Amino acid sequence: MKLVVQVKLLPDAVQAPALESTLHAANKAATWVSALSFEHFGLTGSVRELRKLCYGELKAQGFGAQAAQHIIKRVADAYTTLRANIKAGNLGPPGAQRRRKAESRPVTFRPEAAHTYDDRCLSWNYDAQTVSIWTLDGRLKHVSFACSPGALKQLAQSRKGETDLMMRDGKLFLAATIDVPDPEVSEPKGFLGVDRGLTNLATTSDGDNHTGRRLGRYRRWQARKRAELQARQTRSAKQLLKKRARREARHATHINHIIAKTVVAVAQRTERGLALEELRGIRERVTVPRDQRARQSAWPPSTSSAPSSSTRHAEPACRSSRWIRPTPRSAVRAAATPSAPTGAPGTTSAVVGAASLGRPTTSPGSTSPRERPRRGYSSTCPTRPPRSAGTGGCDP
């Protein structure tokens, strides 16, 4: 299976401007190719047609052969994705405002959007932790990068395919593709049901309750700071709001990851699968009071394809829902799969991990508020693990 390893580039004062200008120029050229494709072919431009139309001009602008080919392919892939979304109804029915807006203008590329490199434009030196990368100003050699020892080992052993250069918050990153063998799949000896709530982020059928009290306090504190910045209505305040939004999202993702690893460790040790439930369309089905709207809106919509369960108890839900093999990657993906709060009409359980908090819920196996631990993320880990811990979580 294919995974992505991200490393941070550490260019010097000479290398950084060359990389930034190349990334901006590539995205500007991609926007130009996209406009030309939309003018001549609408949403159906192919790589072959765009190559005949734009390759010579891209070469004249200073792009190498491989860079020009990647720009053209990025544009063609963008329109292929757009057509697929329209066909699947992701942009609404015919005549919807969002769909009409997407169909009426060409695709544009942000100046800091990712640009693709292959092995002819980018080479790696794992021992020295440097890369040699093509730019409009020539080939840059000995560009340092930083990553964890585990990521470096994965790159050295399994890197295969293309690499994306991208910029985020003024920092340059490389996202490399690695190809690792699929883990062995075995039949589970049982199922571990996972119910997701707003106050109790995840409750398993074994009775383990992962509370979100600390995350709730953190979100309320962020909401107060957000209100203060919104009241200023200045340009710097808007920039700080974006920065805080990303920080809050990273914090919630970190909490989800801790819970997912804990649940998956239990499933692996007991050789069980994970039983999850899809709660697609919960926002349309459930109406909440005005003071609860922000909490519900922070809950992402469901996009998984698991069949729904009609039972109200955790154990039968394990039998009627789909199961996921107990591997860390499966659980992390399950934790990232958006869903909705429990306790709503027509819903019973949800996926591992929660991205936000909301109204209190009660599910089978969960403890009462008086019995819940006052601090920490779960009953198996009553106190927050130290920052020096390797995974940031605790062993179940």
| Residue 141 banded pLDDT, cuts 50, 70, 90 | very high
Taking all residues of the chain, what is their mean pLDDT, rounded to a whole number?
78
Cα 146 to its chain centre, rounded Å, is 21
Strand ranges across the sheet with 322-324: 209-211, 200-204, 191-195, 273-276, 322-324
Encode pLDDT of 142-158 as tens digits: 999 999 999 999 999 99
pLDDT at 299 over 70: no
Angle at 334 between CA 184 and CA 162, to 5 degrees: 70
pTM attached to this predicted model = 0.65
Q: Which strand (E) or helix (H) includes residue 23?
A: helix 15-41
Q: What is the mean pLDDT of residues 343-356?
A: 37
Strand ranges across the sheet with 122-125: 115-117, 159-168, 171-179, 2-10, 138-146, 130-135, 122-125
> For residue 2, what are its two tokens?
């294919």
CA distances from 216 to 194, 201, 220, 267 (A): 20, 10, 6, 27
Quote the strand ranges of the chain, DSSP E.
2-10, 115-117, 122-125, 130-135, 138-146, 159-168, 171-179, 191-195, 200-204, 209-211, 273-276, 322-324
| Residue 215 banded pLDDT, cuts 50, 70, 90 | confident
CB–CB of 174/19 below 8 Å?
no
Domain boundaries, the chain: 19-111, 188-396
pLDDT at 281: 72
CA distances from 116 to 136, 161, 165, 166 (A): 14, 10, 6, 9
309: CB partners within 8 A, 6+ apart: 277, 316, 317, 320, 321, 348, 349
One-letter identity of residue 62: G
CA–CA separation, 302 and 340 (whole Å): 7
CA–CA separation, 343 and 362 (whole Å): 7
pLDDT at 332 over 70: no
pLDDT at 343 over 60: no
Strands 273-276 and 200-204, sheet pairing: unpaired
- In DSSP notation, 67-125 reads HHHHHHHHHHHHHHHHHHHHHHTTT-STT-HHHHHHHSS-----TT--EEE-TTTEEEE
Encode pLDDT of 49-95 as tens digits: 999 999 999 999 999 999 999 999 999 999 999 999 999 999 989 99
Instruction: Please state which of the ranges 3-17, 62-76, 141-155, 263-277 shows the lowest mean pLDDT.
Output: 263-277
